[in-house]
Amino acid sequence: MDSGFYAACAGLRAQSQSLEVAAHNLANVNTPGFSPTIGIIGAVLGLIQVMQHLDKIDEVGRGIAVAFVATIYGVGAANLFFLPAAGKLKIRIRDEQIIREMTLEGVLSILEGMNPRMLEAKLLGFLTHAHEPAPQSEGSSS
């Protein structure tokens, strides 16, 4: 029966690591410069259109308008939708990871025969750490 618990714990560890990878990928979305890139791509495409029609002055105005509108839409969508959604997903993944780690530690502690009071204190430590702000990576600035 113990081998079944150890197999379940190994599966929980693997899932916890995959959640950690997903959380790190979402954290990279919040890097400075990523959000405006969406708008800049639209601006570049609009300006390419302008360069193709330099001989027709009435089309140049339309191309510049497309470039500006694409920039506004791209930056607006990134800052109003994508970054907040990434932040919420990151919080949910972090909460799920804490629950899985807590479950894993609880099962392993039960298998080791830990005192129930000590186990309770150990698991309550997870809950207090869950309400602390997430640690920032070494490369990010405050």
Residue 93 domain flag: yes
- Of residues 5 and 82, more confidence is placed in 82
For residues 13-39, average pLDDT:
65
Which domain covers residue 122, as residue numbers? 2-130
C-beta atoms surrounding 4 within 10 Å: 8
DSSP state of 31: S
List b or e across 106-137, with b for residues whose CB sees 16 or more CB atoms inside 10 angstroms: beebeeeeeeeeebeeeeeeeeeeeeeeeeee
Residue 44 domain flag: yes
Task: Tokens 């997870």: give the residue.
Answer: 126
Residue 140 domain flag: no
pLDDT tens sequence across 38-70 = 677 778 877 887 888 788 877 778 778 878 887
Structural domain count, the chain: 1
Residue 135 domain flag: no
Residue 86 domain flag: yes
Number of H helices, E strands in the chain: 5, 0
Identity at 57, one-letter amino acid code: I
Model pLDDT, residue 141: 46
Burial of 64 (0-12, 13-18, 19+ CB in 10 A): middle
Residue 142 domain flag: no
Contact 47, 66 (CB under 8 A): no
Whole-number Å distance between alpha carbons of 63 and 56: 11
Give the pTM: 0.57
Residue 141 domain flag: no
Q: Highest mean pLDDT: which of 18-22, 50-54, 138-142?
A: 50-54
pLDDT tens sequence across 105-127 = 888 888 888 898 998 888 888 77
